[in-house]
Chains A and B, each alone.
Chain A
Amino acid sequence: MSFFKAENLAINFGGVKAVDGVNFEINKGECFTIIGPNGAGKTTIFNLISRIYDSTEGKMTFDGQDITKVPPHAIASLGIARTFQNIELFEHATVLQNLLVGRHCHSRTGLFSELAFTPSVRRAEFAHREKVEEVIDFLDLQHYRESLITNLPYGVRKVVELGRALCTEPKLILLDEPSSGLNVEETQDMSFWIDDIKKDLGITVLMVEHDMGLVSEVSDQVLVLNYGRMLAFGSPQEVQNDPEVIKAYLGE
């Protein structure tokens, strides 16, 4: 039984088949990467998994559960967290508050006890903050804890977004181009963190990435998409030597 499985996944936008019959399986604890030229449907697959889009066809199973029709806000509590390609942080809030929103799927306090801020709400807040501090330690964000997102440089925002996803305590984390906009050094850090997330935290990673250096460093399996269809599948080395893939990227 695979950890995550997409069967014959498809979505149309009008006449455009953005994703067209894609099948893949992710095993628990591995790093699975989707690559492909621009417009290949990589981010669309992410939006399908996080249920922002409804798939036209196909089925997705996660951890033995069918998630094809799960409402989008329930995805996080099932154990799937994501980051966004162009960073979707809460800009008028501090890093700490952003990370605390990541704890939202674990909050069980009722509205009226929150309005009165009862001791149970306070205890729950303590527990959330302890978890958040673990993530802050893990990603070395101590320095930025109280900074507003608007005042942070791009590279740090990228890490904060990763942190926010980790705060949901996911079993599967979707990283949409984790290295885009990062310099060489930051990309190196990111690759260490992805490795740590996989090995130390035991979280399965699904990522979309263009930087082939990063891909071959951290991925176990690579899926290549082109025009919404699967082009190739295998280890990073196999995929890079595949003539079809070279053709898609470089032309003939």
Chain B
Amino acid sequence: MRFLFKTDYNQDIRIAKHSGYYWSYGLLLLIVIAAPYFLEGYYIGQMTQLFIIAMAGVGLMLLAGYTGLVSLGHAAFFGIGAYTEAVLTSNGVPLPFMEEPVIFPFVISMPLAAIFAALAGVVIGIPVLRLTGIYLAIATFAFALVIEEILSRWESVTNGYTGLLVESLYVGDTELTDGAPFYFLSLGLLVLVILISINLLRSPTGRAMMAIRDSEVSAQSMGVNLARVKTTAFALSAGITGLAGALFAHKLGFLSPESFTVFQSLELLVLVVVGGIGSLHGAIFGAIFVLALPQGLAILKDYLPTAIAETPGMEPFIFGLILVLVIIFEPYGIYGRWLKIKHYFQMFPVYKKATFKRQKAYMKSERLK
């Protein structure tokens, strides 16, 4: 067990709380940087997918885990990001004074995809600001359905159900959107997004978000402008998810509205909850879970009786079952469990289970809204 003696405000503010962080996260970074030199192509692809999903998870985590606003429609932002990227880099956009449609380089198109998704976040954010809990979930759900419909009907841009081919990107002669280069691009952007999120969470706006999550009325009395902070949270969350969508477009290589359905939204929500709501670690753990589960199930199928293995809807069922079990038995998800294991070894041999037992909350005052 390490005891920190703080003698400087920087110790509170800086990202690494003590020197151990440099070792553990440095090692982790080293491993993921070295990984493509040892892994086969298939696993590099899977890891890339993991980074992309984790990035979308970080986006939703900022909204659901830190601001307390549940969104059932994040596939919409994911889709907006993906389609924006695909249209900008593949088909191009007809601009005035240009004879041919302009095709954007990815350094411009990716930020644009994020900005478009963020704008969509603001557009949905402003009208639903007054909603919380289940009502907000329903509103975002409806929004996602609208976007899904637009993606399939706006055929002149999205090509509808016929699908949209996403061109590969090249820097010089190397293909950027495949193999190791794409792995590093996704990893780099994921690290960037995580750093931005950490910065946000250690500054006033991030604290205001957490304040809103825990008690809107007192946040307001402390000078937090609820409308502004909620809209900011929505925009940032949507923007990050949109950026992940832009990467996802290249990962898929071929977009169709079926890739951005309600099931995808649910998957993101499962990611956040199972990973551990209210922690950035949770988004990473959740992404690993969401990605590994279907693979695990596929392997498991070989060992199950045919009658069970062939039952349609097995995968969503197990997804749902795990979600329910996690909510009941481990409300802070995989990250919560991880903390407990860490604590056990730090405190060994005097670990007390009660440390993590949730105490009965004292009476809440009547909610004023």
A interface residues, Cβ below 8 angstroms from B = 47, 50, 52, 71-77, 81-82, 84-93, 96-97, 100-105, 107, 109, 111, 114-117, 121-122, 124-126, 128-130, 150-151, 154, 157, 164, 168
Contacts and interface: CB of A to CB of B under 8 A. Distances in A.
A91 B278 CA distance: 13
B343 interface: no
Contacts of B207: 93, 97, 100-101, 104
Closest 4 CB pairs of A and B: A105-B223, A76-B223, A86-B365, A88-B218
Contact of A73 (B202, B226, B359, B363): B226
A104 B209 CA distance: 11
A93 B214 CA distance: 9
Contact of B199 (A82, A115, A124): A115
Interface string B183-223: 00000000000001001101111111011011101111111
Contacts of B205: 111, 114
Given A76-B222, A97-B210, A104-B223, A154 B362 contact: yes
A124 B221 CA distance: 21
A52 B222 contact: no
Contacts of A154: 362
B214 A91 contact: yes
Residue from the set A47, A88, A97 with the largest chain B CB neighbour count within 10 Å: A88
Contact of A129 (B12, B213, B215, B365): B12
Contacts of A96: 12
Contacts of A168: 222-223
Contacts of A150: 358-359, 361
Contact of A125 (B13, B200, B208, B362): B13
Given A104-B208, A157-B362, A109 B203 contact: yes
B1 interface: no
Given A73-B223, A121-B203, A168-B223, 15 more contacts: A52-B368, A73-B224, A74-B223, A75-B223, A82-B221, A84-B365, A86-B364, A87-B365, A89-B215, A91-B215, A92-B210, A92-B278, A104-B224, A114-B205, A150-B361
Nearest to A93: B210
A88 B215 contact: yes
Interface string B155-177: 00000000000000000000000
B216 to A, nearest CB: 9
B223 A117 contact: no
B49 interface: no
Contacts of B223: 73-77, 104-105, 168
B154 interface: no
A50 B222 CA distance: 10
B109 interface: no
A206 to B, nearest CB: 14
B170 to A, nearest CB: 30
Nearest to B203: A114
B84 interface: no
Contacts of B203: 109, 114, 117, 121, 125
B284 to A, nearest CB: 20
A88 B365 contact: yes
A58 B278 CA distance: 43
A84 B368 CA distance: 11
A92 B225 CA distance: 20
Nearest to B196: A115
8 contacts: A77-B223, A86-B365, A88-B364, A101-B208, A105-B222, A111-B232, A117-B202, A168-B223
